[in-house]
């Protein structure tokens, strides 16, 4: 889990967002870089700020939007030399990428951790090289918070609580069976969204979670796990998916089973990507809590603040909305992701 110190910094985080004015959520030349690594210039040049970014992967529509935001913001024209790598959902690939960035002598390292634990050694190496590390979207579990400068992203526990509270208020007025499609095992959003939902529903005796299994944040994973749930548990009332993509996979499985998603089986999810919002507007999903992926401008502002000698808060929480069907219909025409 995220450290208690991080948990208690939510108030400071809101102040930090205002103080910083944050808005949000070609091959490199170095042959030692991990597969999938790209650079905006190939090598650092002029006064460009060199940044190494290791992305989790491309497992969902949310992640694709997150990657695009970072690559579209940290550009050569904006004063950055971005070296980007896709970890393909493997922690060892991220560690390899971070070590490659250290060897290249980048000025800043940012990454979205695949899982929470197992980072201390490589982060110690970055600290020894005097390279500030910025966590985006996901946290790490470490007793030594000096190993990174700041963590920017949504409050995953709060996201889970918001979904759970909606389910309790709107669906939990009678006994219901809930199945849970969890995110990647060991990842911060999977751990925290599960905790938040359970915290919000634990006092409602009508809500019973009858099955919980990881779909690894993918649409295909959500479909396969939901197929198994339907075979084992014919009396499912609600699906709680930790992200939209798994919820969309669940829709496919529910329809293949001859049931109507959003009616026969209610679906609640987190993220708010366009495909998920479209399904919500169509009535196949019932409620979505947003997790804003557009963290590029925030990351750029943090790096430039640090580069100019400024300081940032150790925890910066992005601001996210929530949507029912009518709100989704209203938001879709102007949706950026």
Q: Which CATH architecture has domain 4-154+292-319?
A: 3-Layer(aba) Sandwich (3.40)
- Tally the C-alpha atoms within 13 A of residue 274's C-alpha that lie toward its C-beta: 9
* CATH topology match: 4-154+292-319 vs 156-291: yes
pLDDT band at 234 (very low <50, low <70, confident <90, very high): confident
In 3D space, the residue among 44, 40, 137, 34 whose CA is nearest the CA of residue 86 turns out to be: 34
Instruction: Kindly compute the dihedral angle of the four CA atoms of residues 122, 128, 132, 135, in this order, to the nearest 10 degrees.
Output: 20
Share the mean pLDDT of the chain: 89
Residue bearing tokens 């950055």 = 80
In angstroms, rounded to a whole number, what is the distance separating the alpha carbons of residues 70 and 148? 19
Segment 241-245 mean pLDDT = 98
- Tally the C-alpha atoms within 13 A of residue 280's C-alpha that lie toward its C-beta: 29
Q: How much is the pLDDT for 18?
A: 36
Task: With beta carbons less than 8 A apart as the criterion, state whether 195 and 163 touch.
Answer: no
- CB burial of 45-72 (b: ≥16 within 10 Å; e: otherwise) equals eeebbbbbbbbbbbbbbbbebbbebbbe
pLDDT tens track for 11-51: 344 434 334 433 333 223 333 344 445 554 433 345 899 99
Task: With beta carbons less than 8 A apart as the criterion, state whether 192 and 2 touch.
Answer: yes
Q: Which CATH architecture has domain 156-291?
A: 3-Layer(aba) Sandwich (3.40)
Eight-state DSSP code of residue 318: P
In angstroms, rounded to a whole number, what is the distance separating the alpha carbons of residues 212 and 200? 17
The residues, any chain, with a CB within 8 Å of residue 127's CB and separated by 6 or more, are 133, 146, 147
Q: How much is the pLDDT for 123?
A: 98
Percentage with pLDDT > 70 across the chain = 86
Tokens of 111: 């990454």
pLDDT band at 319 (very low <50, low <70, confident <90, very high): confident
Its pTM stands at 0.82
pLDDT tens track for 169-226: 999 999 999 999 999 999 999 999 999 999 999 999 999 999 999 999 999 999 999 9
pLDDT tens track for 248-300: 999 999 999 999 999 999 999 999 999 999 999 999 999 999 999 999 999 99
The residues, any chain, with a CB within 8 Å of residue 114's CB and separated by 6 or more, are 56, 57, 87, 89, 90, 91, 94, 184, 187
pLDDT tens track for 244-255: 999 999 999 999
Q: How much is the pLDDT for 102?
A: 98
pLDDT band at 316 (very low <50, low <70, confident <90, very high): very high
Q: How much is the pLDDT for 170?
A: 98
- CB burial of 256-287 (b: ≥16 within 10 Å; e: otherwise) equals ebeeebbeebbbbbbbbbebbbbbbbeebbbb
Tokens of 262: 């959003």
Domain parsing of the chain, residue ranges: 4-154+292-319, 156-291
In angstroms, rounded to a whole number, what is the distance separating the alpha carbons of residues 137 and 308? 24
Using the predicted structure, report yes or no on whether residue 88 has a pLDDT greater than 70: yes
Strands 150-153 and 315-317: parallel
pLDDT tens track for 124-171: 999 999 999 999 999 999 999 999 999 999 999 999 999 999 999 999
Q: How much is the pLDDT for 67?
A: 97
In angstroms, rounded to a whole number, what is the distance separating the alpha carbons of residues 105 and 102? 5
In angstroms, rounded to a whole number, what is the distance separating the alpha carbons of residues 213 and 190? 11
Strands (E), 186-321: 207-214, 238-241, 266-271, 287-290, 315-317
Q: How much is the pLDDT for 37?
A: 52
């Amino acid at each position: 889990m995220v450290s208690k110190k991080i948990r208690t910094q939510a108030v400071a985080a809101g102040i930090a967002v205002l103080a910083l004015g944050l808005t949000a959520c070609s091959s490199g030349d170095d042959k030692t870089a991990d597969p999938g690594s790209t650079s905006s210039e190939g090598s650092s040049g002029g006064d460009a700020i060199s940044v190494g970014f290791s992305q989790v992967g491309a497992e969902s529509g949310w992640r694709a939007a997150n990657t695009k935001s970072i690559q579209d913001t940290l550009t050569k024209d904006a004063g950055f030399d971005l070296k980007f790598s896709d970890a393909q959902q493997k922690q060892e690939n991220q560690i390899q990428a971070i070590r490659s960035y250290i060897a290249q002598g980048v000025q800043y390292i940012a990454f979205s951790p695949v899982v929470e634990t197992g980072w201390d050694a490589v982060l110690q190496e970055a600290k020894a090289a005097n390279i500030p590390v910025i966590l985006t979207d996901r946290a790490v579990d470490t007793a030594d918070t000096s190993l990174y400068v700041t963590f920017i992203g949504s409050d995953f526990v709060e996201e889970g609580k918001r979904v759970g509270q909606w389910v309790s208020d709107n669906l939990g007025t009678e006994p219901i069976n809930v199945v849970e499609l969890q995110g990647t095992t060991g990842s911060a959003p999977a751990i925290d969204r599960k905790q938040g939902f359970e915290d919000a529903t634990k006092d409602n005796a009508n809500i019973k979670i009858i099955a919980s299994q990881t779909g690894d944040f993918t649409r295909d994973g959500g479909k396969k796990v939901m197929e198994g749930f339907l075979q084992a548990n014919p009396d499912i009332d609600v699906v709680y998916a930790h992200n939209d993509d798994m919820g969309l996979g669940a829709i496919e499985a529910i329809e293949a089973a001859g049931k109507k998603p959003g009616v026969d089986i209610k679906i609640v999810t987190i993220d708010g990507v366009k495909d998920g919002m479209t399904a919500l507007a169509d009535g196949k999903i019932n409620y979505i809590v947003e997790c804003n992926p557009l963290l590029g401008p925030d990351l750029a502002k943090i790096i430039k603040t640090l580069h100019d000698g400024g300081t940032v808060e150790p925890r910066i929480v992005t601001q996210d909305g929530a949507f029912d069907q009518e709100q989704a219909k209203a938001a879709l025409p102007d949706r950026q992701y």
